[in-house]
Amino acid sequence: MPRQPQPLKRKRGVILSSWGLQRLQEAQERLEMETNRGDRYTLEKLSLLTGLSTRSISKVRSCKEVVDRQTLENVFLAFHLTLIPDDYIQPEVEAIDEPQPVIPIQQDWGEALDVSTFYGRRKELSTLKQWILPDNCRLVGILGIGGIGKTALSVKLAEQIQDQFAYVIWRSLRNAPPLETLLGELISFLSQGQDAKADMGKLIEYLRNSRCLVILDNLETIFQTGDRAGYYRPGYENYGELLRLIAETRHQSCLVLTSREKPAELAQFEGIALAVRAFYLSGSLETAQALIGKTGLKGSDPQKQQLCDRYSCNPLAIRLVSTSIQDLFDGEIEAFLTQATTVSMAFAAYWISSSIASRP
């Protein structure tokens, strides 16, 4: 007699909520800083800490395969946490196994750069993506001097992770818009034109209800200069309140800002184990060398290396000096390095630094 197929058994279990995953990640990072010099634990190390198999740990962290509640308790206990009801959910198995509908992505790129030609920065992009996606950071600052490539990096980053967000909006603050103007634009976009009231609480509500990626470029334009660098210009202090709200309030979105100056709110709340982090962008040798190759300058690899080093691999500085080398030295790097007098080199350095200071 043929064997009758048995009905599928319905598996019961729980998975981490986004809140629980965030708590667990932050606790793990704190322990890694205290006991492992900040290096990430391997699956094998996590297995030793929790007493669970590497397979069970992978299931917990994936938030897709159900586990029993005791497994979650063991994991949380290993990181000195007590499991609470907000840390997990009991989903329907069918909802996990079946493909989820794709939410249409709403995008507004404003005056974002065209980064179809983009060189290097793989490590930087990898770190930022880790912070924003698995680590669920709410506020991320990309900081660095003028011309170093903050704007281009922010656009490339947004392009690479855009499919993880329901809304993506990129805005430049180069013209220092009042906060009310910016809030009106953001809320109008996130409400799909149904609301335009400039209200911080309303913005936080949208950031809670949908996964949004907001990028604000050139934040330094709303800061004072000189001895007061890092302090807001009169009339722009409410930007600080917005950053504080986004940093402190629980939501599922991320604000990425670029700036030459570090805002006080970023300094106050940042931490490797927290949802607020600052990334300091320096020159990229790979990017600088690619730019030199694109401009067609002639020279040996050591000469190109020397040119990159002389301008700290600053992409804008490399582009500007490459133009000078083409015009004055027929594209010969060696001639520029050897024939340029101290005075002309000083002038070139002054001209480049002035150009960088006036650009984002």
Which of 230, 264, 280 finishes a domain? 280
Residue 83 in this model has a pLDDT that exceeds 70: yes
Distance CA(342)–CA(307), nearest Å, equals 15
Tokens of 216: 């604000």
Across 304-335, b (16+ Cβ under 10 Å) vs e yields bbebbebbebbbbbbbbbbebbbeebebbbeb
Burial class (CB in 10 A: 0-12, 13-18, 19+), 355: middle
Same domain as 251, residue 276: yes
Same domain as 219, residue 177: yes
- Based on the structure, what is the number of domains in the chain? 3
- Compute the radius of gyration of the chain from its Cα atoms: 25
| Confidence tier at 348 by pLDDT (50, 70, 90) | low
State residue 354's pLDDT score. 54
In a domain, 325, yes or no: yes
| Confidence tier at 3 by pLDDT (50, 70, 90) | very low
State residue 273's pLDDT score. 63
Tokens of 174: 């180069």
What tens digit of pLDDT does each residue of 15-48 get?
A: 888 888 888 888 888 888 888 877 778 878 888 8
**What length is written for the chain?**
360
In a domain, 165, yes or no: yes
State residue 92's pLDDT score. 55
What tens digit of pLDDT does each residue of 263-273 get?
A: 888 888 887 66
Instruction: Tell me if 261 sits within 8 A of 230, measured CB to CB.
Output: yes
Instruction: Tell me if 92 sits within 8 A of 34, measured CB to CB.
Output: no
| Confidence tier at 6 by pLDDT (50, 70, 90) | very low
Same domain as 322, residue 273: no
Which of 280, 297, 316 finishes a domain? 280
CATH number of the domain enclosing 64:
1.10.260
Same domain as 263, residue 124: yes
- Domain extent, residue 329, equals 285-357
State residue 321's pLDDT score. 84
State residue 214's pLDDT score. 96
Same domain as 212, residue 133: yes
Q: What are phi and psi of 136, to 5 degrees?
A: 55, 45
Distance CA(252)–CA(273), nearest Å, equals 17
Same domain as 236, residue 129: yes
AA letter at 325: I
Same domain as 298, residue 210: no
Please name every residue paired with 280 in a beta bridge, in sequence order, or none if there are none: 143
Same domain as 249, residue 124: yes
Residue 193 in this model has a pLDDT that exceeds 90: no
State residue 278's pLDDT score. 92
AA letter at 283: G
In a domain, 6, yes or no: no
In a domain, 297, yes or no: yes
Distance CA(283)–CA(312), nearest Å, equals 6
Residue 343 in this model has a pLDDT that exceeds 50: no
Residue 68 in this model has a pLDDT that exceeds 60: yes
Residue with the larger pLDDT of the pair 5 and 349: 349
| Confidence tier at 1 by pLDDT (50, 70, 90) | very low
Same domain as 319, residue 209: no
| Confidence tier at 9 by pLDDT (50, 70, 90) | very low
For range 190-216, the mean pLDDT = 89
State residue 314's pLDDT score. 85
Which of 280, 310, 334 finishes a domain? 280
Distance CA(70)–CA(303), nearest Å, equals 62
Average pLDDT in the chain? 82
Instruction: Tell me if 121 sits within 8 A of 153, measured CB to CB.
Output: yes
Distance CA(250)–CA(204), nearest Å, equals 9
In a domain, 3, yes or no: no
Same domain as 163, residue 300: no
Residue 95 in this model has a pLDDT that exceeds 50: no
In a domain, 1, yes or no: no
| Confidence tier at 102 by pLDDT (50, 70, 90) | very low
For range 127-153, the mean pLDDT = 91
For range 72-89, the mean pLDDT = 88
Residue 201 in this model has a pLDDT that exceeds 70: yes
State residue 101's pLDDT score. 43
What tens digit of pLDDT does each residue of 300-342 get?
A: 888 888 888 888 888 888 888 888 888 888 888 888 887 754 4
Instruction: Tell me if 103 sits within 8 A of 166, measured CB to CB.
Output: yes
State residue 12's pLDDT score. 61
Distance CA(197)–CA(183), nearest Å, equals 8
Per residue, the 3-state secondary structure of the chain, as one string, reads CCCCCCCCCCCCCEEECHHHHHHHHHHHHHHHHHHCCCCCCCHHHHHHHHCCCHHHHHHHHHCCCCECHHHHHHHHHHCCCCCCHHHEECCCHHHHHCCCCCCCCEEECCCCCCCCCCCCCHHHHHHHHHHHCCCCCCEEEEECCCCCCHHHHHHHHHHHHHHHCCEEEEEECCCCCCHHHHHHHHHHHHCCCCCCCCCHHHHHHHHHHCCEEEEEECHHHHEECHHHECCECCCCCHHHHHHHHHHHCCCCCEEEEEECCCCHHHHHHCCCCCCEEEEECCCCHHHHHHHHHHHCCECCHHHHHHHHHHCCCCHHHHHHHHHHHHHHHCCEHHHHHHHCCHHHHHHHHHHHHHHHHCCC
